């Protein structure tokens, strides 16, 4: 991603970021499930909120 700290104008900053994303190499496919590193919880008793 391009460094846009110095750009004050919001619209100009968005243009630069968008161009940088377009120019960057495409990201590879996922190797695992999206939430595989998320902390898992044990099954709570019925009626209690889990998170």
User: How high is the pLDDT of residue 11?
Assistant: 95
Structure confidence at residue 43 as a pLDDT band (50, 70, 90):
confident
Position 38 scores a pLDDT of: 85
Mean pLDDT of 19-41: 89
**Whole-prediction pTM:** 0.51
**Helix/strand/coil (H/E/C) assignment for every residue in 1-51:** CCCCCCCCCHHHHHHHHHHHHHHCCCCCCCCCCCCCCCCCCCCCCCCCCCC
pLDDT tens digits, 10-23: 999 999 999 999 99
Q: How far apart are CA 19 and CA 11, in angstroms?
A: 12
Average pLDDT over residues 39-45: 76
């Amino acid at each position: 991603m391009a460094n846009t700290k110095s750009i004050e104008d919001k619209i100009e900053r968005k243009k630069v970021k968008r161009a940088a994303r377009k120019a960057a190499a495409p990201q590879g496919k996922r190797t695992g499930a999206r939430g595989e590193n998320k902390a898992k919880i044990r099954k709570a008793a019925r009626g209690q909120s889990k998170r």
